C-alpha cells in the first residue's frame, strides 16, 4: 500500500537520493554522463530541505511511501516560476524505476494539482525535457504541449517542452481515483 503525504524535513535525504537516481536512470544520452555521475545527493537534498522549510511561492513537496515507510517517489509544486503559461507549476515528479507503472505518479500529480488548486491556481503546467520518454505520461493525463525552448544544462543544450492543463480541473479529473480504489494508468 502506498501512502502519499506532504514531505517532512526528515524526508529530504530520501528525496535527494531519488532525484539523483532518477536523473541517472532517465537522462543518459540526454545529459552528459560526467554531469550525471557528479550529481551530489546530499547537495540536492539540502536544496529540497530549504524548499520544505521556506515554502516560497506556496511550494509543497509530496512523497509516496511504501508500506515499510521508505520514500519511493516525490513531486513538488508551487506558483509558476514565470508568468505567461499557467498560474501553478509542477516542478518535479520523480519515481524510483521499480515503482513505476503502479499509479503512483498519477497520485503524486493529483496531490500536486490539488495543492495548486487550494492555493488559488486555476491552471497548471510543467516542463519536461523533450527527449525524456515521460512526456507521454503527461499527454496521457490530458496535458497539452504549448511551447518549447532550449535550455543549457550540464554543459549542453537540451530542448524542453511546456505542458499545460487549463483549467486545472482537467488534471484533477484525469488523476481522480477509479472505483477500483486507485488511480488509473501507468504513472
Q: Where are the domains of the chain?
A: 3-174
Neighbours of 30 (CB within 10 A): 18
**C-alpha pair distances (Å), 58 with each of 44, 54, 104, 120:** 20, 9, 23, 10
Distance, in Å, from the CA atom of 8 to the CA atom of 164, rounded to the nearest integer, reads 28
Dist CA 47 CA 59 (whole Å):
13
Edge-to-edge order in the sheet of strand 71-79: 3-6, 60-65, 71-79, 88-95, 124-129, 156-165, 144-153
pTM for the whole thing? 0.93
We find that the CATH architecture of domain 3-174 is 3-Layer(aba) Sandwich (3.40)
Give average pLDDT by consecutive 10-residue segment, the chain, 187 residues.
96 98 96 96 97 86 97 97 96 97 96 98 98 94 97 93 98 80 42
Amino acid at each position: 500500500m502506498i501512502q502519499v503525504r506532504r514531505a517532512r524535513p526528515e524526508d529530504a535525504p530520501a528525496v535527494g537520493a531519488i532525484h539523483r537516481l532518477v536523473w541517472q536512470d532517465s537522462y543518459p544520452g540526454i545529459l552528459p554522463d560526467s554531469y550525471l555521475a557528479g550529481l551530489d545527493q546530499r547537495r540536492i537534498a539540502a536544496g529540497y530541505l530549504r524548499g520544505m522549510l521556506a515554502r516560497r511561492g506556496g511550494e509543497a513537496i509530496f512523497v509516496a511511501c511504501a508500506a515499510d515507510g521508505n520514500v519511493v517517489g516525490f513531486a513538488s509544486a508551487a506558483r509558476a516560476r514565470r508568468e505567461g503559461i499557467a498560474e501553478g507549476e509542477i516542478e518535479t515528479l520523480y519515481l524510483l524505476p521499480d515503482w513505476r507503472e503502479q499509479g503512483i505518479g498519477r497520485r503524486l500529480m493529483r496531490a500536486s494539482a490539488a495543492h495548486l488548486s487550494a492555493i488559488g491556481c486555476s491552471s497548471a503546467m510543467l516542463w519536461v525535457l523533450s527527449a525524456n520518454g515521460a512526456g507521454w505520461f503527461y499527454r496521457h493525463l490530458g496535458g497539452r504541449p504549448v511551447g518549447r525552448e532550449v535550455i543549457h544544462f550540464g554543459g549542453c543544450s537540451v530542448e524542453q517542452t511546456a505542458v499545460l492543463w487549463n483549467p486545472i480541473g482537467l488534471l484533477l479529473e484525469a488523476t481522480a481515483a477509479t472505483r477500483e480504489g486507485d488511480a488509473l494508468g501507468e504513472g
